[in-house]
Structures are given as C-alpha cells and as structure tokens.
Amino acid sequence: MKTHVGEVIDFLEGIAPLHLQESFDNSGLLIGSRDAEVTGVLVSLDCTEKVLDEAISKKCNLVISHHPAIFYGVKSLTDSNMTERIIRKAIREDLVIYAIHTNLDNILARGVNERIAQKLGLKVEGILRPLPGDTTTGAGLLGHLSMPMPENEFLTHIKDSMDASVVRHTDLIGRDIAKVAICGGSGSFLLKDAKKAGADALVTADFKYHDFFEADGDILVCDIGHYESEQYTIGLIQELISGKFATFAAHCTEINTNPVHYFT
C-alpha cells in the first residue's frame, strides 16, 4: 500500500488548518508534488542544507519543518544564499518540502504550546489570546503548576525542563509562581495578555531589550531562546505522523539547527 504526500498533508492540515497561520507566514507545501509517493519523512525545526543531506541519507523524500524553508520572496536561484541553495538541492534530489508553522502554534490540542506545557508540567487552562468566537485556537497558552514554586526554583525548573543554556529574565516579582503563560517562539506580543490574565510568569523567547521594561514588576518574563522553546515540536510532529501512517518511517532529525550559540 502506498501513501502519497497529499495524504500526509491532509492529515496534518486536519489538525492545524492552513487558515490558522498568521498573515506573515508561509506554511504549507513549498516544494514538490502532492502526488509523490512517500518513501520516508524527516521532521526538523528548520530546513537547512544539512537536514536535506540527512533526509537523503535516510531515504526520506518528504521533509517537514516547523519553520518554512522559503519565508521571503525569492527572485533568483543562483546559490547566493541558503534559501536558494535549499530550493535547488530539493528540486535536484526530488525532495518534497512542507512547513507547518504558526498554524500549529495557534491550536490548543496537539499544538506547539501544549507540548511546552507538558514539558513544564502545567495543567492547561486555555488559549491566552483566543481567536474571535473560538476558544480552542489562538496565540499562547495559559496554565498552572500543581504546586506554586519559588521564583528561583521555577527558573531552574524551566531551564532544566526545556534544556535551555540560559534564561534571560526580568526582575523577580517577590511571589511564588503558580499561573504561567507560555508561547513558543517570539512571544513578546503577548505580554499584555499574560498580565491581564493574572499570570505570574511568561515563558517565551525573542524579547527585545526595551520589551523587558514592560513587565514593570507585575510578571516574571522568562526568555529561554527561540530554538529552545520550540525544539520539542519535532517530536510532536513525528509522533502525529507515526501514529497515523504505517507505510513509511518518520524520523526526527539528529541535527541541531539552532543558529544561536552561547559562550559561557
């Protein structure tokens, strides 16, 4: 029995429909045909040249990444940057490239933030910023710990649970952490929502210097890094696919694609 790319796409988009992606995003089928037979799937957070080489070595012709391989407009294919080289390599090697990005961020069940909540041991209360008329879709999640934690203990907990090299954070707020807002990736836009919801902490990434001031002593902002906040999305996608399809193998990449390194 054969499985075609379109069947995998339909399954994933049944969980995270494309209409839920943000306007700036470029999720969906980026390179290749829906009619191609799937020989294997490689799941990664980012689609890089090394990831494509790994897919080839594992005989996977479908690469599914969280972040889109093609994010900005491409006007030429001259190998002058990574995006152009990825496109040329994928076409040359007959690989199919698919991205499932902010549409996976914006769902409650089986989404990016639910997996973060599981890693942190949070009981999910709901979406932090729901889409109009739908409490099961939107940005971020709100949850609570089974037992409140002192702030320093909580910082250690998220560092260890999320395998983060460092945690950038605001001033301590002088109370235990019980209610926690989370957002995989860049979540500074949810700071006001987290404060309004009464969260003691916001765990996310990509906070800019001046954004930290906006916490204003009301909430503990914990910036754990973009890759670190979303790295477990790889296993999430792989588990979804493996649980549905038995005609091919779905692999998690063995390559750490984090472009940020820490000198400590």
pLDDT tens sequence across 88-120:
999 999 999 999 999 999 999 999 999 999 999
pLDDT tens sequence across 130-177:
999 999 999 999 999 999 999 999 999 999 999 999 999 999 999 999
pLDDT at residue 61, as a whole number: 98
- Phi first, then psi, for residue 170 (nearest 5°) are -80, 180
pLDDT tens sequence across 18-27:
999 999 999 9
Each residue of 15-49: b (16+ CB within 10 Å) or e?
A: bbeeebbeeebbbbbbbbeeeeebbebbbbbbbbe
pLDDT tens sequence across 9-57:
999 999 999 999 999 999 999 999 999 999 999 999 999 999 999 999 9
Domain 107-223 in the same topology as domain 5-104+231-252: yes
As a CATH number, domain 107-223 is: 3.40.1390.30
pLDDT at residue 64, as a whole number: 98
Hey, where are the domains in the chain? 5-104+231-252, 107-223
- Phi first, then psi, for residue 124 (nearest 5°) are -75, 130
Q: Topology of domain 5-104+231-252, per CATH?
A: 3.40.1390
